[in-house]
A and B are shown apart, each in its own frame.
Chain A
């Protein structure tokens, strides 16, 4: 099997990506699909801001507005932020621990295709009778009575993509536990790997409650059960609990990898070891743990009683402590460092004040008594956008510029990168800072319009202009991507010149087997360590030998496709005569291909020593 050096036509490149199990190619798939859904969610955001730019606007109807806000939130969280972070986890984490691939390459591909088909299914709702319209939280009391099939698309689409995320999380956990290179102890792992580890553990324990919640909703809406039908003994609060037992850890699933990315960016461009490494690890783990203890702070006004509210209020405020540890460690990493202001560093620098604002409003909201005032107002909208955009989206932008050369072998243009930054940064604060005050002045969230003369006009207009700036920033990034891809100037192993971790010790993009010989890790920041001792690369931990690699497979695509088909059947159950047969056909495709996978031996293949000696680290294109 030494066909990997051949030139390929367009068709075979497509087939290659449909069947790939290589973590680096799956990362590119996540990046493209996540980037696409980010644009879709962004367009929805722009529609929201156009509608709210002036009072009594009729750009969209009230019903369409509900669909747009629901899809904006759902798309951004599940189909943009998570996949984009998964893209970087896939691209970088195995390289950072010195592994040749993830533990389950097949499952990795399956996870991607499940996410992809789930996302496509959810978005098909726009064309098949209307999108979900009960908000991204889809509270049962509202969702159960929603007309049409919107909620059904939400339930089934998220179910499919959620399974993909869950198996992805398990995969990362096993990879980090079992596949670290010799010498790569837990306390030598880069912070991004640590963050991937903790956030994968959160995925493992947070997604099953969502699975159950979505299943109950599916049974109620499509198969006649009564979980949320109060007349028949049901209880809609169950949905709120299940959703937030998932939903709050989800916030940390998103923001911990962002913290990890920034930690690596800060230490790289301060050219200094991360300040307080072990306290950073401790804080990451502690945030992950506390993340499960606070879900009811989303439900202060549900009426759980003063004792429950007090406990969840205190637990929520406690998360401020490890987060504060992180903020100070980042500041002290820059202190006395030789700071280089590259585009990723711009984002990291801007992240600190932006995220702190989100953190401060978070502690305000955590105070249960005060929350009765803020609840369901634009103050909440401002808060979570400061956390998610100021934390996660900034991190995605930072990582896009930082890791682009490692993924594609060419640098994004720094000047355009900085223009993107300034446009987006200014636009972000314009859009969301005023929303704090809108909320405090009494503007409720999720309203499709507002009246003149209530003092909301100016701030809403400023907010909408800010959205235009953000859009312009994203467009400049797209231009940057096109320009640099056309130029395609190849770069070496360590294009930033300051790489500290293992991914920078191998070619950009890496050969498909990553490491010809597994590296010997002698401390934290192993590549930096070797460079400081005047060596060019890592010391190998093993003699050159055969490398075992997994075979490509089309089965992951087919398994995910089967669920996609079955979901259509479930959606129209009781309404169309073909519904049940379609469910059965879809499940047969899925379980049948799982059976084939289980029964057919797949031993993978070996790259022989002689072939490895031929390609002298030139970064053979896979």
Chain B
């Protein structure tokens, strides 16, 4: 099979994300890239743990003063659900149903935007209510860098999925763009997994430890 073939529901392969050599390469290369990203976030987590609650003086807010679990819970639910909806999108991609794939990707993007909105609100809240800033302490720098790196990944992922949707809205699925949708959804899952760790290490451990 090659990327430019015109396919129908009947001839659409079971694994369109790796049915050409280019697609196989993309699939594997992206998994390896995510391996590198894992080490990147591991380094950021280590830095955060080393600098947690490290502030210059006693009047700075610490982790236990800052976090608000209900808000974080809502954000977590939005992001976890968006991972589920992206799975639905990939299910329809595998069934050669471009319309429904677009629908579920659209919902994924909306949920992601919701998450991002909450994060912006949260950061704003910390800065204005607690004077917990990027530049105010080592704790602040480490917190905003770790969570901000994740937020930047969410933003990039949203832009990526949106661009793919707009580009392919009219022309439907083929073996050239199916792997692109697939790796974008992999990226989205990865962002989700990282958030699970942030939720645990930053927020839960910040509240109890």
Contact = CB atoms under 8 A, between A and B. Distances in A.
B136 to A, nearest CB: 8
Contacts of B4: 603
A233 B139 contact: yes
B173 to A, nearest CB: 14
A570 interface: no
B37 interface: yes
Contact of B55 (A103, A224, A233, A595): A233
Interface in A178-207: 178-179, 204-205, 207
A166 interface: yes
B36 A170 contact: yes
Interface in B97-143: 134-142
Contacts of B205: none
Contacts of A220: 141
Kindly state the interface size class of chain B when it binds its partner.
35 or more
Contacts of B46: 238, 241
B54 A225 contact: no
Contacts of A74: none
B17 to A, nearest CB: 14
A400 interface: no
A229 B140 CA distance: 12
Contact of A235 (B28, B33, B138): B138
A238 B45 CA distance: 12
A601 B2 CA distance: 14
A204 B39 CA distance: 9
Interface in A529-554: 548
Given A207-B36, A598-B163, A225 B145 contact: yes
Main SS class of interface, B: helix
B204 interface: no
B69 interface: no
Interface string B39-70: 11001101100110011100000000000000
Contact of B141 (A178, A225, A241, A242): A225
A226 B135 contact: yes
Given A174-B32, A232-B138, A595-B163, A208 B40 contact: yes
B21 interface: yes
A444 interface: no
Nearest to B43: A212
Given A205-B35, A205-B36, A227-B138, A235 B54 contact: yes
A178 B24 contact: yes
B2 A548 contact: yes
B39 A174 contact: no
B199 interface: no
Nearest to B4: A603
6 contacts: A170-B33, A173-B32, A208-B43, A220-B141, A226-B135, A232-B56
Interface of A: 103-104, 107, 166, 170-171, 173-174, 177-179, 204-205, 207-209, 211-213, 215-216, 219-220, 223-227, 229, 231-235, 238, 241-242, 245, 548, 595, 598-599, 601, 603
